[in-house]
Amino acid sequence: MDVFIELSLIIAVTVLVSGLMRLLKQPLIIGYIFSGIIVSPYFLNIVKSTETISIFSQIGVTFLLFMVGISLSPKVIKDVGKVSLVTGIGQIVFTSLIGFLISNLLGFSLIVSGYIAVALTFSSTIIIMKLLSDKKDTEKLYGKISIGFLLVQDIFAIIFLMIISSFASNTGAGGFSIQSVILILAVIVGVVLASIFVLPKLSKFFAQSQEFLFLFSIGWGLGLAALFHYIGFSMEVGALIAGVALSVSPFHYEISSKLRPLRDFFIILFFILLGSQMQFGNIGQLIIPAIIFSLFVLIGNPLVVMVLMGAMGYKKKVGFQAGFTVAQISEFSLILITLGYSVGHISAEILSLVTIVGLITISGSTYLITYSDKIYPHLSKYLKIFERKKLLKTSKDFKNYNLILFGYNRIGHDLLESFKKLNKKVLVVDYNPDTISKLTEMGIDCRYGDADDEEFLNELNLESVEMAVSTIPEFETNLLLVSRIKQENKDAIVIVISHSINETNQLYDLGATYVIMPHFLGGSHASKMIDNYKLDLNKFLKEKDRHIKYLKDKKEAGHEHPKPEKDR
């Protein structure tokens, strides 16, 4: 069969299967793997040009690691925060150890158990980012923590991939000579120096043309990947280093955006090839281990995260929702297993086993994350064991506060400043233990608690509250707050936040005094500036100076504006 016709048929099957996955609200990666199974020799037997598709899939992995490198700027560890770092590393350690033990008990060899244990450790950043974005949860506390420890996982996944891929280019540890090690180090040093002194200037030149920037990015990534392959290392490592070198470029967002469709096309072929390589001859022997490993990932991984986050002082709901984001294995897990298979460390049966676990856990976790808000109330009373018994040091008296601020974040910081001018007693409520610790150090009266916990709300003397402001984005939480406060004190001023017109109207109907809609607020403010300043440039420049000073103060306070949601 002609390669072009073969690829066309494979893509046609993939479109149909992926469309079905969309209807089932599943990530498309499931559709790609199922498509590979359908076009494999076991079913339609379309895949004939395995070598050609294998080359395309290798390009896909190279592009994937190149773009991961672009997103891993040197300051990424600083950005993820303490909780993400501790949770990420802790989850990797505990999951790999427990996974290794389970594999051994099931009779797998030490090497195979090691591969399986590592594969069960990593979760899919791409899938989780998409699900969090769809739920509009990327800026919630659990969302930010999850993104942080997923980045930590990515770094460790890259390290493991570098180790395994080194065997793909060498016969083993002895395959490296002193000369080759020196050569590799020299190349890395050269790339680092180029990223500091040469690439910034070159990227400005290339960025003058979008097509030229696109071509330069491909040439840089594939060129370094080929260079590393030529000197005896792996293309994957070369692509990763090429990406990290471009991560400091001011145009790295544009580069990522332009390369994403190219990466997606080639990585699709990787997953199709993976599905077509699955072995079904002894599928009966794989079912029991696949179910055990899947249950461990779907249940065990979230439990590990909940224990770690509970030990660090986080509320059970935050740990519960963050835990679901690690309830699947990632594309890196499948790439790692594929590399292990290519160097002969594991058999095709193990490749099939881990792929089945991937299908089960990615499908299952998608529904768990999507419906976590509905699942939580049914399990809430059983999750108290994951909360630290010793409460944080907070304010002692909760009975005599006139103003309550629920949620101290970017907006809450400004509101608190306004509260202070009213000369009233103010209480800040937040469920982030780090925030509570900072407020306590600043001498601000605060309480560690969850605003959607009715037992906690009963502890607050809402009858004496003259004004309550919520910066919490969850609609259901704000519904509860408006309802409870108005029941206790119908004359209280209640201000909440909403991102939907329909939800805003419901909050007003329930008794909210005012609903802040951030997306509309910016346009309203700009419109009032135009009305007041007309075409007076000097007035706009004075407003600019005030804004720059305001942003400087926000930055010093550690606040950042949310970035536009993009697929990684």
What CATH number is associated with residue 238?
A: 1.20.1530.20
3 state DSSP class of 426:
strand
Q: What's residue 161's pLDDT?
A: 79
Domain total in the chain: 2
- pLDDT, tens digit, for every residue of 33-77? 999 999 998 889 898 888 889 899 989 888 988 888 887 765 555
Same domain, 418 and 355: no
The stretch 440-458 carries a mean pLDDT of 83
Q: Is the pLDDT of residue 524 over 70?
A: yes
Same domain, 453 and 500: yes
Reported confidence tier of residue 167, pLDDT bands at 50, 70, 90 = low
Q: Which of 219, 193, 194 is nearest to 206 (CA)?
A: 219
Same domain, 371 and 503: no
Same domain, 212 and 336: yes
Lowest mean pLDDT among 80-89, 272-281, 427-436, 477-486: 80-89
pTM of the model: 0.77
- Full residue range of the structural domain in which residue 452 is found: 403-516
Domain assignment of residue 390, yes or no: no
- pLDDT, tens digit, for every residue of 327-381? 999 988 998 898 888 888 899 899 999 999 999 999 999 999 989 988 988 898 8
- Residue with the bigger pLDDT between 228 and 81: it is 228
Rounded to 10 degrees, the C-alpha dihedral 180/183/187/188 comes to: 70
- pLDDT, tens digit, for every residue of 229-261? 887 777 877 888 888 888 877 788 888 888 989
Same domain, 36 and 158: yes
Query: Percent of the chain having pLDDT more than 70?
Result: 90
Lowest mean pLDDT among 93-97, 193-197, 306-310, 445-449: 193-197
Domain assignment of residue 46, yes or no: yes
Domain assignment of residue 340, yes or no: yes
What CATH number is associated with residue 505?
A: 3.40.50.720
- Residue with the bigger pLDDT between 207 and 15: it is 15
Q: Is the pLDDT of residue 552 over 60?
A: yes
- pLDDT, tens digit, for every residue of 415-435? 888 888 888 889 999 888 888
Q: Is the pLDDT of residue 171 over 50?
A: no
Tell me which of 516, 544, 563 is where a domain ends: 516
Sheet containing strand 446-448, strands side by side: 446-448, 426-430, 403-406, 467-470, 493-497, 514-516
The stretch 458-464 carries a mean pLDDT of 84
Q: What's residue 187's pLDDT?
A: 80
The stretch 79-97 carries a mean pLDDT of 85
Lowest mean pLDDT among 99-103, 193-197, 339-343, 530-534: 193-197
Q: Is the pLDDT of residue 172 over 50?
A: no
Tell me which of 382, 413, 436 is where a domain ends: 382
Same domain, 216 and 133: yes
Q: What's residue 3's pLDDT?
A: 86
The stretch 145-173 carries a mean pLDDT of 74
Q: What's residue 493's pLDDT?
A: 94
Reported confidence tier of residue 25, pLDDT bands at 50, 70, 90 = confident
Reported confidence tier of residue 179, pLDDT bands at 50, 70, 90 = low
**Residues 386/306, Cβ–Cβ less than 8 Å:** yes
Same domain, 235 and 322: yes
Q: What's residue 567's pLDDT?
A: 40
Distances (CA, A) of 333 to 165, 276, 441: 13, 17, 43
- pLDDT, tens digit, for every residue of 393-417? 555 555 678 999 998 876 777 788 8
Domain assignment of residue 526, yes or no: no
Q: Is the pLDDT of residue 228 over 70?
A: yes
* Alpha-carbon gap, residue 307 to 93, rounded angstroms: 13
Same domain, 362 and 438: no
Domain assignment of residue 398, yes or no: no
Same domain, 18 and 164: yes
* Alpha-carbon gap, residue 371 to 137, rounded angstroms: 12
Q: Which of 147, 99, 131, 151 is nearest to 354 (CA)?
A: 99
Q: Is the pLDDT of residue 455 over 80?
A: no
* Alpha-carbon gap, residue 474 to 477, rounded angstroms: 5
Give the DSSP letter string of 451-481.
Answer: TT-HHHHHHS-GGG-SEEEE----HHHHHHH
The stretch 155-162 carries a mean pLDDT of 81
- Residue with the bigger pLDDT between 211 and 139: it is 211
> What residues contact 169, with CB distance under 8 A and at least 6 apart?
175, 229, 232, 233, 234
pLDDT, mean over the chain: 85
**Residues 360/368, Cβ–Cβ less than 8 Å:** no
